Structure 1
Amino acid sequence: MAFGRRRTEQQDTGEQPAAFDDVLAGGTDADGDSDAPAGGWRRVLRGNRGLWITALVAVVALAGGIVLGQVVVSPFDRAAGAGAPDPGLVTVPVQFGALSNDVTLRGDIGYNDSSELTFDTSSFEGAAIVTGQVPDEGAEVTQLSIALEVTGRPVIVLPGELPAYRTLRIGVSGPDVVQLKEALAAVGIDSGDPASNVFDQATANGVAELYNQAGYPVPEPEEGTREAVTASEQGVRDAEQQVADAEAAVATAGQGASAIEVREADNEIASLWRQISESERAGEDASDLRDQLEVAKLRRQDLDQPKDVSAEQSMLDGAREAVTSAQEALVSAQEAALPFLPASEVLYLDELPRRVDSVAVKRGDALEGSAMTVSGATIQLTAAASSTDVELLEEGTKAVFELPDGTEHPATVTQIAKSDESGRTKVIFEPDPLEPDVMREIQGENVRISIPVGATDGDVLSVPYAALTAGPGGESRVEVVDGDPRDGEDAETRLVVVETGLAAEGYVEVTPAEGELGEGDLVVVGS
C-alpha cells in the first residue's frame, strides 16, 4: 500500500514525518518558524480529546474514593469498632385476659361406627340377584327398614349385635332366638316369653307379624310340607276311629252273659233234673243224666263270672298308641309349616338408625361380597391422645374444633377407650349439631381439636414463668421496672409479691399480694 511504501521510504531515507517532528520540536507556526512547546501539546490534546477526558474522569474518581474511604464508615464497621453497649433489662408487659391450659389433638370427623355390610346368600339356589329396595347414599336405615330385596325376598333390618347365622324355626333354641324376641319386642311385636330361648308357637306368630309389617309374605315352607300336614290329619282321624271300635269291643265283652244265655242255661239244668227224676221213678240208670247236669251247672256258673276282655283291651291300647303317634306326626307337620325366619332375610344392626355412606350394588346385580357401607347416624370426632394428655381428660369435657371457615365449633368428650400397645388412647368427641351442608364439607377431614383442661374465671393478670422469682420466705414475686429498662442495673425497679394461679402455655396467673401490678407493667425476665 501507499502508506506502507511511504513509511518504508521514510525509513530508508532516515527522515521522520513532519507531524512527529513538530511534536518533538514543539511545533512550528504558519511561516515555518518554531513555536513554544505548548503548541505541540495542544495539537496532541486536540487530536485525542476523548481519550484524555476518560483518563481525567478515572483520576478524579480514584481521588474521590480515597477521600470517601477515609471519611465514610459503614454501620457494621462502626459497630465492630465500637465497644459493647451497657447491658439493659429484658422485660415483657403484664398481660390481662382469660388464661386456659389446653390439650391439642388431631381428629377425624365423620359418622360413628362405619362398617361394610355383607349379606347371607346361602339359602338361595343359584345366583342371588338384587331385585329392588336399593337405598340411596345418605339414606337412613332404621328398624323394619328393607336393606335390600334379593331374588324377590326382603332383608329386614332389626336391632341387634349378633349376626344371623342360621334359620330360626319352631323348636330351635339359643341366644339368637333371645335376640330375635328382644328385637321383635323393640318394634312392638309380641313373640311370647322374652325370658325363654326357645322358638315356639308365639315366636312363629311374631315372625308372621314381622313379615306383615314389612309388606312381604312369610317364607314358603319346604316342598311337600303342606301335603304332609293333610296326610297327618287323616292319620289322626283313622287312629281315633280305631280307638272307638276297640272301646266298643271292650265294652261289649265286659257285659258278661246275656239274659237269654242265662235263661237257656237254667232251662237246661231244669230239664236234666226232670229227666233224672223220671228215670229214677222208672227204675232206670240216671248216671249219664247226672253227669250232664254237673256240666250244665258249671256252664251256668261260668255265665255268672266276669268275661275275659284282655284281647279286646290289648286292641284298644294299640289303637290309643296309634292316635298318639298320629297326633305327634301332625304336630311335626304343622310346625314345619309354621312361619320361620331364614338367616338371609334378616340383618341385625346395633345403634340404629344408621346412615348409608356408599352402595356397591344396583338392581340386577348378583350379590357378592360387600354390598354397602353404613355408619351410625351420630356425628363424632375420633382422636388419639398420649397417656399424659388422657390423664387431663374425662367424659363430659368440653372441646372445640375448627371448621373450614376458621370458626370454632363445640364438641364434648363422650368416650375414652383403653390405651393400645403404643400407649395411645382413642378419644371420641360428639360435636354439637352441624348443618348438613357443613357436615358434607368436613366429613372425613382431619381437624384440630382444643380441649381446655383448666381455665381462669374471666380475665386475669398473667406473666411468663421466667418473670417469677422466689423471695426469702419462699413467696413468689415479680420485679417491675418503673424506669428505662435500657439503664440496666441503674434502672428503677420494685418487687411485687404475687399469688400464682393457673399456668398455661408459658404464662402463669398472678394476683398482687404486696404492691401494685397492672396490665402493661414491664416485668423483668432477664438481663
Structure 2
Amino acid sequence: MQFVVSPAELAARTAPPEAGPVTASVEERVVENTVVTRGEVTYAGAVDAEIDTSSLEERAVVTGHVPEVGDELKAGDVALEVAGRPAIVLPGALPAYRDLRVGLRGPDVAELKTALAGFDLWAGDPDTDLYDADTAVAVGALYERIGYEAPTGGDEARVALRDAERAVRDADAELVSANRGGDAATARTANDALVDAQETLAEAQVAVMPSLPASEVLMLSALPRRVDDVRVARGDMLQGAAMQVSGATLAITGTVAKRDADLLQEGQAATFTGADGTDFNATVESVRAPEKAGSAPKSDDDGGGSDESAEQPAAARFSVTLKPEKLSAEQVDALRDTNVRLRIPVASTDGAVLAVPIAALSAGSGGEDRIELHLDAESRKAEGEDTVTVPVTAGLAADGYVEISCDDERVVPGAEVVVGT
C-alpha cells in the first residue's frame, strides 16, 4: 500500500509551480572581455641546415664540433667541422652558394658585410656589395676569433706571391740599369716588364688575402637557433642536411575570427593553460590577415605583407602568434608540440565592480538603462510591491555579465534582480 498514490495526490505533485519572477544575484566581480582560442606550441621556423661541400678538394668527412639536440647556435659559433675546417654560423637569409674572395660583388657579399658588422668588424663600405681588402681583413679577424686559420689560397698562392715579389725587384733593378746605360729602347722594355711584374704581384697579393669558402659558412636567419635533430656523427661523410634547426624560443600560433582580430594588437598580455592545468603568461607578437584567395603573398620588395585593406571573406581566420614568457627548461619540454587554450583580455574593469547578468538590464522609455530589483519580504511589505525598477549606469559587458553603478542603497552584492518570468 505504501506505493499506491491517489490520482489527486499525483496531480498535485506534477502541477507546475506558481508563476513568479526568475531572479539572479547582484555580484561583485571583475568583468573582462576576453578573446579565447586554441594554439599550437612549437619552435618557429624549422629548417634543414645544409653545408655546400661541392668545392671541397678533400672528402667531406665530419671531424668534430657535432652539436647535440637542444644546443643553441649563435652568430659566430662553429656548427660543424668538416675535413678539419669550420662551418661558421652567420646571420643571413641567403644561403652560401659560392666561394667569396676579393673582387666579387653580389647580394651574398652585402649579406656577409652586414654579418661581419655585427661582430664590430669593419668590412668596408656597407653601402656597396664589393668584397674588398677591408672585407678580407674582417674575415681573417673572424677566423682568428674562432681559433682557425683563415683560407688564404694555400701553399701555391704563397709561393706565387714570393715569386711575384722577386720578379718586381728584378724588373726594378733592370729598369735602373737601363736608365743608367742611356739606351731609351732598353729602358722602355725594362719599364714595360716592371709594369707587368707589378700587375702580377697585385694579383698574387689578392690571392693570399682571406676568403670565405661556401663550405665554411652556414647562413641562418633569425638567430639564435635551436638544434632539433642531428643527422651526422663524427667520422660520417656529409651528405645532405647535417641537422635541423628551429627558432630558439617557443611560439604559440592560433587563429581568430576577424571580429576578434580587430580587438588584438602587438604587445597585449595573454595567458595559456598547459596540459596539467598550469597557467602561463604570454605576449601577442603578431596578428596577420589571411591571404586573398587566388593571390600570391607579397614579398618585402613589393611592399611587404598582406593587403589588409582588401575585403576578407566573413569566414576567413586571422593568424595570431604569441610569445610565452619565463619558462623553465622542463616547462619548455612539457609544452612543446602541445595544443593549449589561449585567453587574451582585450578590456577589463579596474578591479571588482557590481555586475548583473545582461538579461537583467532593460531600457526605459527614454533609453536609460535600468534593472528590476526583487525586494525582500520586509521591503515588499513596506513598498506594497514585489519589484521596483531602478535606473543604473551600464559599463563593460562580457561573458554574460554587465558592469553597473547605481546610487540606490538597495543595489548591493547579494540583492536579487529579475532576469525573466
What's the CA shift for 1:440?
1.3
Q: Which residue number in structure 1 is paired with residue 304 of structure 2?
A: none
Separation (CA, whole Å) in 1 of partners of 2:232 and 2:12: 78
Q: Number of matched residues?
A: 394
Separation (CA, whole Å) in 1 of partners of 2:343 and 2:39: 10
Q: How does 1:301-340 map to 2 (within 5 A)?
A: 312-340=183-211
Counterpart secondary structure, 2:54 = coil
Q: Which residue number in structure 2 is paired with residue 455 of structure 1?
A: 348
| Residue deviations 1:202-247 (CA, integer Å, cap 9, x gap) | 3222222222222222236267433433433343234323322331
- Mapped pair 1:109 → 2:41: yes
Q: Which residue number in structure 2 is paired with residue 370 of structure 1?
A: 241
Separation (CA, whole Å) in 2 of partners of 1:148 and 1:76: 89
What's the CA shift for 1:515?
6.5
Identity of aligned residues (%): 43
- Mapped pair 1:467 → 2:341: no
Distance 1:239 1:473, change over 3 A: same
| Residue deviations 1:70-112 (CA, integer Å, cap 9, x gap) | x6247995369x7655422222222221111110121122334
* C-alpha contact (below 8 Å) 1:411/1:429 kept by paired residues: yes
Q: TM-score, normalised by structure 2?
A: 0.85
Q: Which residue number in structure 1 is paired with residue 268 of structure 2?
A: 397
Structure 1 runs of 4+ with >4 Å offset = 74-77, 82-85
The residue type paired with residue 454 of structure 1 is A
| Residue deviations 1:326-365 (CA, integer Å, cap 9, x gap) | 1101211221122211011011223332222221221122
Equivalent of 2:61 in 115, 118, 129? 129
- Mapped pair 1:156 → 2:88: yes
- Mapped pair 1:242 → 2:113: no
| Residue deviations 1:120-140 (CA, integer Å, cap 9, x gap) | 121124752212111111112
Question: Which protein has the larger Cα radius of gyration, Structure 1 or Structure 2?
Answer: 1
Counterpart secondary structure, 1:396 = coil
Q: Which residue number in structure 1 is paired with residue 11 of structure 2?
A: 78
Distance 1:365 1:516, change over 3 A: same
Equivalent of 1:444 in 330, 337, 343? 337
The residue type paired with residue 354 of structure 1 is R
Q: Which residue number in structure 2 is paired with residue 217 of structure 1?
A: 149
- Mapped pair 1:477 → 2:409: no
Separation (CA, whole Å) in 1 of partners of 2:104 and 2:173: 34
Counterpart secondary structure, 1:419 = coil
Q: Which residue number in structure 1 is paired with residue 137 of structure 2?
A: 205
* C-alpha contact (below 8 Å) 2:49/2:218 kept by paired residues: no
The residue type paired with residue 205 of structure 1 is V
Distance 1:418 1:125, change over 3 A: farther
Separation (CA, whole Å) in 2 of partners of 1:78 and 1:84: 10
Q: Which residue number in structure 1 is paired with residue 77 of structure 2?
A: 145
Distance 1:87 1:238, change over 3 A: same
Distance 1:342 1:79, change over 3 A: farther
- Mapped pair 1:379 → 2:379: no
Q: Which residue number in structure 2 is paired with residue 97 of structure 1?
A: 29
* C-alpha contact (below 8 Å) 1:166/1:342 kept by paired residues: yes
Separation (CA, whole Å) in 1 of partners of 2:92 and 2:24: 62
Higher helix share: 1
Counterpart secondary structure, 1:324 = helix
Counterpart secondary structure, 1:104 = strand
The residue type paired with residue 147 of structure 1 is A
Separation (CA, whole Å) in 1 of partners of 2:92 and 2:8: 81
Q: How does 1:486-525 map to 2 (within 5 A)?
A: 492-513=386-407, 516-525=410-419
Counterpart secondary structure, 1:453 = strand
Separation (CA, whole Å) in 1 of partners of 2:402 and 2:259: 20
Equivalent of 2:113 in 167, 178, 181? 181
Separation (CA, whole Å) in 1 of partners of 2:113 and 2:244: 27
Separation (CA, whole Å) in 1 of partners of 2:341 and 2:326: 18
The residue type paired with residue 504 of structure 1 is A
Distance 1:469 1:217, change over 3 A: same
Separation (CA, whole Å) in 1 of partners of 2:386 and 2:98: 88
Distance 1:346 1:92, change over 3 A: same
Equivalent of 1:435 in 309, 319, 328? 328
Q: CA RMSD in A?
A: 2.7
What's the CA shift for 1:449?
0.9
Separation (CA, whole Å) in 2 of partners of 1:428 and 1:75: 66
* C-alpha contact (below 8 Å) 1:129/1:364 kept by paired residues: yes
Separation (CA, whole Å) in 2 of partners of 1:334 and 1:116: 37
The residue type paired with residue 497 of structure 1 is P
* C-alpha contact (below 8 Å) 2:58/2:83 kept by paired residues: no
Distance 1:498 1:123, change over 3 A: same
Q: TM-score, normalised by structure 1?
A: 0.69
Q: Which residue number in structure 2 is paired with residue 31 of structure 1?
A: none
What's the CA shift for 1:393?
0.7
What's the CA shift for 1:196?
4.0
* C-alpha contact (below 8 Å) 2:361/2:369 kept by paired residues: yes
| Residue deviations 1:373-417 (CA, integer Å, cap 9, x gap) | 222333332222221111111111111111333232221112223
